[in-house]
Amino acid sequence: MMDEKLALLRAHRNNISRYRRLLKTELTEFERQFIEKRLAEERSAIEQLAGSTFPLAFETPNRAVENASAFMTASSHG
């Protein structure tokens, strides 16, 4: 169960990275709005998942995302 949640967190993190890279390219306004919307959805999803996976370890949703990302990085190296 924990491995599945960590995999989902990694997938959301990878999607966020991909969307950030896309935003650095030349896009139409429609494309940019679509990607920004998807980026916001991915951030929301990672906050919800991180909060439900590690509910006692974090004080705020933004801190949860930072800590979940750090945890995922540490767990992938160990």
Q: Tell me the whole-structure pTM to 2 decimals.
A: 0.66
**Tell me, what DSSP letter sits at residue 54?**
S
Residue with tokens 């439900």: 52
pLDDT, tens digit (0-9, with 9 covering 90-100), for 34-73? 999 999 999 999 988 888 876 655 455 555 555 566 666 6
pLDDT at 20 over 70: yes
Provide the 3-class DSSP secondary structure of residue 27.
coil
The contacts of residue 67 (CB under 8 Å, 6+ apart) are 50, 54, 57, 58
What is the pLDDT, as a whole number, of residue 2? Answer: 78
Decide: 44 and 61 in contact? Cβ < 8 Å.
no
Domain that holds residue 28: 2-77
Q: Can you tell me the distance from the alpha carbon of 40 to that of 64, in angstroms, rounded to the nearest whole number? A: 16
Q: How many domains does the chain have?
A: 1
What pLDDT band is residue 8 in, cutting at 50, 70 and 90? very high
